[in-house]
Amino acid sequence: MKRPRQSVAIVTLAALMLASCGGGGGNGGSGGPITAGPTPTPTPTAGCALSARQGFAKAVIDEWYLFPADVAAGANPASHGNVQSYIDALVAPARALGKDRFFTYITSIAEEEAFYESGSSAGFGMRLSYDPGAQELAITEAYEGAPALAAGIDRGTRIIAIGTSGADMRSISSIVATEGTAGITSALGPSDPGVTRVLRINNAGTVRDVTVAKADYNLDPVSDRYGAKIISEGGRNYGYLNLRTFISSADPQLRAAFLNFRNQGVTDIVVDFRYNGGGLVSTAELMGDLLGRNRTASEIFSQTIFRSSKSEENRRRFFGFQPESIAPTRIAFIGTASTASASELVMFGMLPWLGTNMTLVGANTYGKPVGQIALDKAECDDRMRVVAFATGNANGQGDYYNGLAPKIANSCAAFDDLAFPLGDPRETSLRTAIDFLAGNACTTRIADAGTGMAARRSGAPPPAEPAMLVPDRPSAAQRELPGLF
């Protein structure tokens, strides 16, 4: 997650964040595509030489890294041909302990700000998971205003082959057999506008080839199709909210959704974070406020804790009044292994106040109880994201590196059912969430979910569950939206 710019000591934090598995008012996403500005060309001076950029990264780690005792002392910058490789060597001890799973990295200032301010990205605009059993790519979600959806590719579509033309199509199975899943990323091409691929897709048994060109688009954090709605069943109304990512343009959409819930008297809520990899701290805090009408200004939503030498930066974030907020009776959060960071912070922040009136539905979350700050070497377009703080809730609890399921006693295992659109009450995870809100007991806890037919009948994830496809060097958007292409 990320915060607005603020001064900390003698440096500028571009943001505080609890970023995604790899790694935060604006437009609501209903307008035309927003094109990211060109990445600044680094000034060809000694200040942007590799050694200078590596030195900048090390200085940031030396001053701010949350785990100073777990930094490699003997890493030699001259042995590394790029900045990220050197960073990886420095934080390798912490990574080996599971504390920093590629959360410390170098990125582009221009690219990151384009995404966090408005969701600007370039590509097909779809989320992909790789199914090792079927050896296919499954589309878990496609975004409005982006090329994939315009070409008829949406949730549940399968990609079975990729080519640059109809004459050089390669099946997903053959790509993986020779190059591994990294070969799929390569076959899909760079995330540059105009890059075109022919995709052989299977839509409900109908196989056809479609030609799709990547383009700039503006990601809508709350979908106009299914992002916020009221589901009426059995004489009761349930609120459903699907937040794709925590970016600034989500704030007015969240306010509008919760105002509608409030006006309709809705207090039982499903919050769908199943593919949400994180983002801005400020948006996560707003969401806590919108769920906290029955909380007071003296009650804690979250805590931020830096290393001892930076303890003056520690803070407690109390609930704040928002005119659109509701007082929830029960909340069912939907999550998966792609649910991380800001999503986990919202859930963990609400847990002390809801107890057994809150559940996690689906699968265990990623487990990222730490966050990054950002420091810039602007002349080189370098933004250093460094793990600098841990998070906790009102009870002082944190340390959920193993995901949130072990922390939530009444979690409910459920299958991410690509046969139905998101927001459809027939979809297994949403069905399980509504059942919890209606007072029905959970069939299988996430921690107890097994494999085989008995587990599948209970709604538990099936064997060889598809996993989001993530490139080795994800973009800013891909860090927050695992599987994005």
As given in the structure block, the two tokens for residue 205 are 């048994």
Q: What is the average per-residue pLDDT within 366-376?
A: 94
* Distance from C-alpha of 428 to C-alpha of 363, rounded to nearest angstrom: 12
Q: What is the average per-residue pLDDT within 289-297?
A: 97
Domain boundaries, the chain: 6-118, 123-218, 228-302+311-368+391-465
pLDDT in tens, 134-174: 899 999 999 999 999 999 999 999 999 999 999 999 999 99
Task: Specify whether the CB–CB gap between 385 and 374 falls below 8 A.
Answer: yes
Q: Of 450, 433, 369, 370, which Cα lies nearest the Cα of 407?
A: 369
DSSP assignment of 330-373 equals: EEEEEE-TT--THHHHHHHHHHHHHGGGEEEEES------EEEE
> Looking at domain 123-218, does it have CATH number 3.30.450.40?
no
CA torsion sign, 271 to 273 to 279 to 281?
Answer: positive
pLDDT in tens, 217-253: 999 999 999 999 999 999 999 999 999 999 999 999 9
H or E segment at 54?
Answer: helix 50-64
* Angle, CA 478 vertex, CA 474 and CA 479 arms, to 5°: 80
H or E segment at 86?
Answer: helix 83-90
CA torsion sign, 17 to 218 to 147 to 194?
Answer: negative
pLDDT bucket at 475, cuts 50 / 70 / 90: confident
pLDDT in tens, 457-472: 344 444 456 799 998 8
Residue labelled with tokens 């949403």: 430
Q: What is the average per-residue pLDDT within 77-91?
A: 97
* Distance from C-alpha of 330 to C-alpha of 359, rounded to nearest angstrom: 8
Q: What is the average per-residue pLDDT within 293-298?
A: 96
Instruction: Return the pLDDT at 454.
Output: 33
Which phi and psi angles does 231 have, rounded to 5°? -110, 125
Task: Specify whether the CB–CB gap between 29 and 144 falls below 8 A.
Answer: yes
Instruction: Return the pLDDT at 447.
Output: 82
Neighbouring residues of 45: CB distance < 8 A, sequence distance ≥ 6: 379
Per the prediction, the chain carries an average pLDDT of: 88
pLDDT bucket at 16, cuts 50 / 70 / 90: low
pLDDT in tens, 87-111: 999 999 999 999 999 999 999 999 8
Instruction: Return the pLDDT at 271.
Output: 98
* Distance from C-alpha of 325 to C-alpha of 117, rounded to nearest angstrom: 24
CATH number assigned to the domain covering 228-302+311-368+391-465: 3.90.226.10
- 42-46: which pairs have CB atoms within 8 A and are 24 or more residues apart? 42/379, 42/380, 42/381, 42/382, 43/379, 43/380, 45/379
pLDDT in tens, 394-450: 998 899 999 999 999 899 999 999 999 999 999 999 999 999 999 999 889 998 764
